[in-house]
Amino acid sequence: MRDELDLRSFIRVIADFPRSGVQFRDITPLLRDPEAYSSALKAMTAFVKDLRPDCIGAIEARGFLFAAPIATALSLPLVPIRKEGKLPAARASVDYALEYGTGQLEVHSDSFVTGARVAIVDDLTATGGTAYAAASLIESLGGEVVGLAFLIELAGLGGRERLHGRNVYALMTLP
């Protein structure tokens, strides 16, 4: 099993994607190394398990790659939190600002019962905007966000401050 430092070597930096000035963190090298992927999932799953959640809030699309194995490993319901226009049934939505651009997140209104303990899972948090929006969305439906798990936290973009007071885990913090 590799340690955390080693896992960082599976994250590739792509300059100027999706727009000039953005240093994109590409997780595909990690995904194609089964040992690295499994090691990352193991650490994230341990954090999520300790939250004693009732379900996993899975943020589209890369978040699905971590949320799905975590939910199945812990035998927990998976609730997709999707971009605008993807979910077909009655839903709640929230607007949010991204590091680059803006978006809207949606969740089915029947995703969980009032008071359900929800753990949010995504691949990366930068400004915290997506995660904050997802948490607000879940809380607007009566869910309780008991924690948020990320593979990567980008330091210095305000994410940690924006999610202040919440139980946040990131396997690795990158500059």
Contacting residues toward a second copy, per CB under 8 A: 12, 14, 17-18, 24, 26, 28, 31-35, 37-38, 41, 55, 58, 60-62, 64-66, 68-69, 71-72, 75-80, 82, 85-89, 108, 111-112
Kind of pairing between the strands at 23-26 and 12-15: antiparallel
Shortest Cβ 138–a second copy spacing (Å): 14
Shortest Å, Cβ 151 to a second copy: 12
Which of residues 66 and 96 has its CB atom nearest to a second copy in the complex? 66
Q: Which is nearer to a second copy, 34 or 175 (CB)?
A: 34
Q: Rank residues 91 and 170 by Cβ distance to a second copy and give the closer one.
A: 91
Quote the least distance from Cβ 85 to a second copy, whole Å: 7
Distance, CA of 152 to CA of 66 (rounded, Å): 12
- H helix runs in the chain, sequence order: 4-8, 28-31, 34-50, 64-73, 129-140, 159-162
d(C-alpha 69, C-alpha 65), whole Å: 7
CA–CA dist 119, 112 (Å, integer): 12
Query: Are the C-beta atoms of 145 and 138 separated by less than 8 Å?
Result: yes
Q: What angle do CA 88, 89, 91 make, to 5 degrees?
A: 105
**The token pair that represents 173 in the structure block:** 């913090």
Cβ distance to a second copy smaller for residue 69 or 147:
69
Smallest separation, CB 16 to a second copy (Å): 9
Place of tokens 């202040």: 164
Q: Whole-number minimum distance, CB 57 to a second copy, in Å?
A: 11
Q: Of 59 and 163, which CB lies nearer to a second copy in the complex structure?
A: 59
Here the tokens at position 170 are 């990131």
